Amino acid sequence: MKHNLLKIRDIIFQSARDADFEINIEDVRIDKTKTIEHGHFACNIAMLLAGKVGGNPREVAERIISKIDSDVIEKTEVAGPGFINIWVEQKFYTTECQFVTQDITKYLEESFEDIKKGTMVIDTSHPNVAKPMGVHHLLSTVIGDSIKKIYKRLGYKVVNDNYLGDWGTQFGKLIYAIRTWGDMNVIEKNPIPELLKLYVKFHDESEKDSKLDDFGRAEFKKLEDGDKENKELWKFIVKKSLDEFEKIYSRLNIKFDVINGESFYEDKMGEILDYGRKEGIIVDGEGGSWIIMPDEPEDVPVLVRKSDGATLYATRDLARIKYWEKTWHPDLMVNVVDVAQEFYFNQLFFAESKLKLTNAKNVHVSFGRMQFKDAKMSTRKGNIILLEEVLNESEERAFELAKGKGLDLTGDEAKELARIMGIGAIKYNILSQSRTTNIIFDWDKVLSFEGNSAPYLMYTITRAKSVMRKSDLDEIDAADYKFSELSDSEISVIIQLMTYPNVVNHSAEEFKPNHIANYLYELAQCFNSFYNSNPIIKAESEDVRKSRLLLVASVIKVMEDGLALLGIEIPEKM
């Protein structure tokens, strides 16, 4: 059974057909109106049709609404240049909210019935081994996790794969540095910072003496050829790094289905190269290198093997695509990677299509940089901002914020709240901004009870939950209630609730969780203005009280679901 806007969309679609217009279902868009005096929803289909077949859009609109025959729609009106404004029957959204409250998962499943689903494999986080995770890794990790959750909600089968940077010449350099300047006892005690120091030292020294680069390359060659000692050392480095990454992932509550780093593809590149050579797709480049020629002569060829026979980042990515195809037969492959790699991904997808590695849709979901308002963080030169530091600071600030607000919590509760709020605030700050521009990071906005922030949403939802608690009824009881005598502020909440499935779908289509985040912010605003102007527990009559409780219960369900899609936990109490 279809829900909400989808149902209304179908009615408009059917009416337009009955009025003898040729029309596709995708052309029908139902939106919220700006203010509810103009109806609950509006549709611009008449303008679109008039543009296509000629004619006056207002007349087209009149023709369509004369065909509407449904008990869901209370009334319609032609407005402005030809909008169809729609008022929905109270009975209809009563049932819809009852559904939401009873079982929101099922409600959404039914809403997405018509959407084509499949399997998605997604590449997120992918930090480089032997280095600490920097704050820039947050973006791919957090955005990727949310996209994964959104597609799951849509009904996709999703596999997320952490494609660690655990292979390449840098490991030869590091091995050389460990042997030359390192002390295993010291490294064992504090692996990541010590390895980073050694890596930096290698770079400093190699600027003075270029022979070092050759030594580094030789060590990597040995590693590639299976040298036992180098392999042991490399394994040690990977293990220590993973332990370190795991600490961060567990704080962020992020899990991976598979962790196949670049090294995993070491033995899987040969067959692709062989195939490409045999088919004449991979040809000789300069100095004995191997390349794939571009279609346009002015474009850059894709390098897949260096003149010394070594493979590259791109060669491993090609092997990964092939492996994904073979293992999961995905319909959709998603790489959540920095915009700096945009050119690289264009080349990769070009090479992939030449080599016919998959028929899946392969997308680069790119994102901008993290930009700090805070002087301490934005002016730090050389050193990266450690992810761990940012998480710590956020939890500390959340603790102070909660204390400042005078929330009535005991020691342990306050700590737990600070954790949930601190981590949630960072995630929300990233996910509420459009990923295609730089992500601004301003502590005062990240951790504030006002405005578009996680603490504001958390506060709203705990307030709603406390109303339910005080009512001595649970959300399940509320599913049996009906709406009665609704005020404008209540209708605004309901209209906002009814657009939720569309918003989730839209977020998925554009790989943009910020649509959900901003939707939740609007919902919280609508809810708060309803809450501030209408008594709930002490409502004027039992019917009105029940009606308002149904609304509160529905808001809780949708807020919980939306925050879950963003990977944000909700505190029990605030």
Q: How far is the CB of 99 from ligand ARG (least distance, A)?
A: 40
Nearer to ligand ARG, 128 or 169 (CB): 128
Q: Say if CB 421 and CB 398 are below 8 A apart.
A: yes
d(CA 446, CA 441): 7
The reply to whether 96 sits near ligand ARG by the rule CB under 6 A is no
d(CA 229, CA 206): 23
- Sequence-ordered list of residues with C-beta below 8 angstroms from that of 88, at least 6 positions apart, any chain: 8, 40, 41, 72, 73, 74, 498
Q: Binding residues for ligand ARG, how many (CB under 6 A)?
A: 8
Nearer to ligand ARG, 336 or 461 (CB): 336
Nearer to ligand ARG, 123 or 325 (CB): 123
List C-alpha distances in Å: 347 to 196, 251, 289, 354. 31, 35, 17, 11
What is residue 573's three-state secondary structure?
coil
Torsion angle, alpha carbons of 358, 359, 360, 365, to 10: 80
d(CA 567, CA 563): 6
Q: How far is the CB of 229 from ligand ARG (least distance, A)?
A: 25
Nearer to ligand ARG, 141 or 502 (CB): 141
Candidates 21, 61, 123, 272: give the one binding ligand ARG (CB under 6 A): 123
The reply to whether 132 sits near ligand ARG by the rule CB under 6 A is no
When CB distances to ligand ARG are compared, the closest residue is 165
| Amino acid at the residue 172 | G
Among the candidate windows 123-131, 290-298, 488-496, 547-555, which touches ligand ARG by CB under 6 A?
123-131
Question: Which of 475, 544, 552, 495 is CA-nearest to residue 93?
Answer: 495
Candidates 48, 337, 495, 553: give the one binding ligand ARG (CB under 6 A): 337
d(CA 574, CA 413): 9
The reply to whether 98 sits near ligand ARG by the rule CB under 6 A is no
Nearer to ligand ARG, 123 or 475 (CB): 123
Q: How far is the CB of 472 from ligand ARG (least distance, A)?
A: 52
Nearer to ligand ARG, 123 or 395 (CB): 123
Q: How far is the CB of 45 from ligand ARG (least distance, A)?
A: 41
The reply to whether 161 sits near ligand ARG by the rule CB under 6 A is no
The reply to whether 465 sits near ligand ARG by the rule CB under 6 A is no
Among the candidate windows 120-128, 375-383, 387-395, 428-436, which touches ligand ARG by CB under 6 A?
120-128
Candidates 58, 126, 149, 545: give the one binding ligand ARG (CB under 6 A): 126
77 sits in which H/E element: strand 73-79
Q: Say if CB 120 and CB 508 are below 8 A apart.
A: no
Question: Which of 285, 280, 277 is CA-nearest to residue 308?
Answer: 285
- Sequence-ordered list of residues with C-beta below 8 angstroms from that of 538, at least 6 positions apart, any chain: 545
Helix axes 191-208, 211-224, angle to 10 degrees: 130
| Amino acid at the residue 508 | A
Nearer to ligand ARG, 126 or 148 (CB): 126
List C-alpha distances in Å: 426 to 292, 395, 448. 42, 10, 12
Among the candidate windows 122-130, 204-212, 249-257, 513-521, which touches ligand ARG by CB under 6 A?
122-130
Nearer to ligand ARG, 128 or 534 (CB): 128
Candidates 335, 347, 432, 502: give the one binding ligand ARG (CB under 6 A): 335
The reply to whether 334 sits near ligand ARG by the rule CB under 6 A is no
DSSP lists the bridge partners of residue 121 as 159, 333
The reply to whether 70 sits near ligand ARG by the rule CB under 6 A is no
Q: How far is the CB of 422 from ligand ARG (least distance, A)?
A: 25
Give me the residues that bind ligand ARG (CB under 6 A), please: 123, 126, 128, 163, 165, 317, 335, 337
